[in-house]
């Protein structure tokens, strides 16, 4: 069976620098890679740094599957001030005395913010309201009511404590706002608080130690691009015969004995990634075909 895919299709594990928006990073990479078909998974705040998975070419079709995995952060919470952006680049809107919480109280508060929670998105965020991003409304001086959203904090670990600061490691679900989490922790401790440092150390399987700087990408634009399949390795793989691969890639629902219900990475017997499929009652259909069969040999 013959398969074909463009050289530039794939994923970059980008080390986003602070001072750039995620959109700025995409604009930079469009110029470097000379492509318009590019997007990112999981927006990072302008002042935040760390892992930003960037999808190029055909890989952009898998963006919808990439954001469901957990993310990890290292964050510094500064006590005594509250800002309109919930980080120290914003305007101070409130202050409080700085109290050093007793260890027992601190541990109890961190435990309170671990597990399933409801969180109200901050005004300075990329969440959309009536077609506009909240930060656009905030910059225009508007504040609107926001519905709380379910999130999960899988881990909230104290790394270091100073009089005015806490350094925390957070592992959380998609859609968690670390700035809001820190404000809420500070409030529970009887203080104002804001984020003074934020680093994303992991997004799904993409980790900080493997992240590539923009300068490294600029020096060798195509050297660091990972295979498309990397984005969906959290799905189990289903190996197809040539006939099954051809039928499924052409949109034909196909019977495969013994397959359990769920989503799969569809692959050929020689290891070529076809796309994402779903199995139900022994029948497999393609949800997203990335690398279709062009002919039978």
**b/e burial code for range 223-249 (CB count within 10 A of at least 16 → b):** ebbbebbbbbeebeebebeeebbbbbb
CA angle 156, 161, 166 (to 5 degrees): 55
Report the C-alpha dihedral over residues 113, 119, 124, 125, rounded to 10 degrees.
Answer: 110
Does residue 45 have an active-site annotation?
Answer: yes
Q: Is 50 helix (H, G, I), strand (E, B) or coil?
A: strand
Q: Is 202 helix (H, G, I), strand (E, B) or coil?
A: strand
Number of H helices, E strands in the chain: 7, 18
| Contacts of 248 by beta carbon, 8 Å cutoff, 6+ apart | 240, 254, 266, 274, 277, 284, 285, 286, 289
Would you say the C-alpha torsion 270, 274, 278, 282 has a positive or negative sign?
Answer: negative
Catalytic residue among 45, 47, 87, 184: 45
CA-nearest of 80, 76, 77 to 98 is 80
The structure tokens listed for 235 are 């799905």
Between CA 266 and CA 245 the distance in angstroms is 8
- Annotated catalytic residues are 45
């Amino acid at each position: 069976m013959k398969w074909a895919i463009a050289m530039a299709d794939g994923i970059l594990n980008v080390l986003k620098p602070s001072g750039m928006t995620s959109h700025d990073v995409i604009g930079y990479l469009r110029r470097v890679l000379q492509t318009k078909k590019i997007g990112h998974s999981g927006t990072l705040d302008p002042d935040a740094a760390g892992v930003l998975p960037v999808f190029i070419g055909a890989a952009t079709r898998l963006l919808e599957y990439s954001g469901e995995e957990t993310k990890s952060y290292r964050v510094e919470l500064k006590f005594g001030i509250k800002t309109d952006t919930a980080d120290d680049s914003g305007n101070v809107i409130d202050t409080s005395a700085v109290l050093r919480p007793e260890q027992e109280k601190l541990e109890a508060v961190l435990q309170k913010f671990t597990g399933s929670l409801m969180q109200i998105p901050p005004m300075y965020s990329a969440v959309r309201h009536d077609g506009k991003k909240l930060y656009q409304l905030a910059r225009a001086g508007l504040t609107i009511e926001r519905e709380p959203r379910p999130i999960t904090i899988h881990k909230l670990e104290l790394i270091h404590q100073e009089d005015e600061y806490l350094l925390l490691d957070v592992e959380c679900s998609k859609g968690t706002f670390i700035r809001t989490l820190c404000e809420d922790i500070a409030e529970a401790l009887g203080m104002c608080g804001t984020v003074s440092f934020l680093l994303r150390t992991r997004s799904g399987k993409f980790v900080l130690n493997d992240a590539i700087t923009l300068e490294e990408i600029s020096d060798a634009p195509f050297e660091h691009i990972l295979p498309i399949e990397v984005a969906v390795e959290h799905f189990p793989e289903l190996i197809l015969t040539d006939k099954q691969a051809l039928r499924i890639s052409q949109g034909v629902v196909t019977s495969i004995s013994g397959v359990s219900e769920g989503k799969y990475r569809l692959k050929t017997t020689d290891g070529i990634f076809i796309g994402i499929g779903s199995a139900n009652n022994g029948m497999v259909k393609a949800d997203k075909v990335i690398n279709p069969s062009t002919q039978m040999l």
